[in-house]
Structure 1
């Protein structure tokens, strides 16, 4: 957001923008964590734990 405002010609600091975003409840979108694709729902036999 800071870079976008600078590109539009607004003079503002990074910490000022962060404070305004916090005050207004604006958060960045976070990446989703990695999940296994199969999810363990397969019909293959599971190898025994020999350790």
Structure 2
């Protein structure tokens, strides 16, 4: 990763929420619903894309 890479923590989510493969050992326990985590992921993605602007 570049030194200026930005990281966004998904509050209450776990590793399994980034895919549709089901839980795996080491994913950790989620403290929010999958939909709440997906909303956070979507919002962070949209914010990133907006920073890129339009060509």
Q: Classify the TM-score, shorter chain.
A: 0.3 to 0.5
Rg larger for: 1
**Per chain length, whose mean CA-contact separation is higher, i.e. which structure has more relative contact order (CA < 8 Å, sep 6+)?**
2
Q: TM-score under structure 1 normalisation?
A: 0.33
Q: TM-score under structure 2 normalisation?
A: 0.32
